[in-house]
Amino acid sequence: MNEIEQATNEQFAELFRQRTKRLAIDVIRFSKTLSKTEEAIIMKRQLLRASTSVAANYRAACRSRSSAEFYSKVSIVIEEADETLFWFELLEESETTTELEIASLKREATEILSVLAKARKTMANSTPRNK
């Protein structure tokens, strides 16, 4: 890999670290607006756990010591991003919040999920398999 490609990969990783952290912060801020019903509190905790895990595990992926470890961490990020979307859906469908209130958060979580799922697929296709 030449220096330009490496710099670009490092820049992308840094921007994506910032992006996943921003999602976590935005979800934390949004969660403060939710009602204090028992159901809302339970869903809020789960949403907070999943969305902050996206940022924390992507950060860990960037510090991985091997391709296998990176792949594993990215897989966790994908699972947590998908779970974040699940909690948004539940909040909306239970009428705890509205689609309008969470549209931008859902869009960002979906984009993060899409980018990383595509990256994981690319990694899986480029890695030789032991048979």
- Considering the chain, what percentage of its residues have pLDDT values greater than 70? 91
User: Does position 130 have pLDDT exceeding 50, yes or no?
Assistant: no
**Which pTM was predicted?**
0.88
Query: Are the CB atoms for 80 and 57 separated by under 8 Å?
Result: yes
Residue 68's pLDDT band (cuts 50, 70, 90): very high
- Residue 35: what pLDDT? 96
Q: What HEC string does 50-94 produce?
A: HHHHHHHHHHHHHCCCCHHHHHHHHHHHHHHHHHHHHHHHHHHHC
| Domains recognised in the chain with CATH numbers | 3-124 (1.20.1440.60)
Residues with Cβ within 8 Å of residue 131, at least 6 apart in sequence: none
